[in-house]
Amino acid sequence: MALQIGDPAPDFKANTTNGEISFHDWLGDSWGVFMSHPADFTPVCTTEIGKVANLKSEFEKRNAKPLVVSVGTKEGLSPLDSHKAWIKDVNETQGANVEFPLVEDPNKEIANAYGMIHPNASDTLTVRSVFIIGPDKAIKLIISYPASTGRNFVEIMRVLDSLQLTANYQVATPADWEYGEDCIVVPAVPTEDIPAKFPKGHTMVKEYLRTTPQPNI
């Protein structure tokens, strides 16, 4: 059965460009942004890996760790050597300094555990999957992009902001919400309790639609 939001994120041990890791131990108390890409030494993937590297400070600000896996590696090289060689190209072409781990998965065990190979798209390569994993090691978000479309990292950061906010406050975020904008008070909060829970104030649009300024800023 395919992984779903709320499921435990499968743990694994693997060799990476930063050494061997045990996934859950490596995450610790951080949020995880676990991604797959179709293959090393390919154009769209090169821009994505560079983008992740250049967003290092944004991940750190959110206490989030990026991790990338691929089963498509360069012929004649071991998976790990392929990743390491490709990183040099990424750094050169994207003005980046890749420091986060790239995972080797020679038997596709990790990719299959996370459902990253979609046979009707390709039965040999991973699609562009994104799993956001909370400090409790549960899956909070799943997005899959086709090989032809690079990820929108503005959206990934936006969702991470929303997940971290809503994990700590009884709010939800509306369509196109961005950090700093008003939030929605969840229906479970009685209207009479809103002033105590949200002292910044609230707006009653409808009895089921109550907004309040973002509570954690």
Q: Are 9 and 113 in contact (CB under 8 A)?
A: no
Cross-strand bridge partners of residue 138: 8
CA 202 to chain CA centroid, nearest Å: 31
Which is the catalytic residue, given 35, 39, 45, 171? Answer: 45
Alpha carbons 69 and 192: distance in angstroms, whole number: 48
78-84: long-range contacts (C-beta < 8 A, 24 or more apart)?
Answer: 78/104, 78/106, 79/104, 79/105, 79/106, 80/15, 80/16, 80/17, 80/104, 82/40, 82/41, 83/17, 83/40, 84/17
Ramachandran class of 173: left when φ > 0, alpha when ψ lies in -120 to 50, beta otherwise: beta
Burial-class residue 206 by CB neighbours within 10 Å (0-12, 13-18, 19+). exposed
- The answer to whether 151 and 17 have CB atoms below 8 angstroms apart is no
What's the rounded Cα separation, in Å, for the pair 150 and 127?
Answer: 11
CA–CA dist 72, 63 (Å, integer): 29
Is 183 annotated as catalytic? no
Task: Point out the residues that are catalytic.
Answer: 45
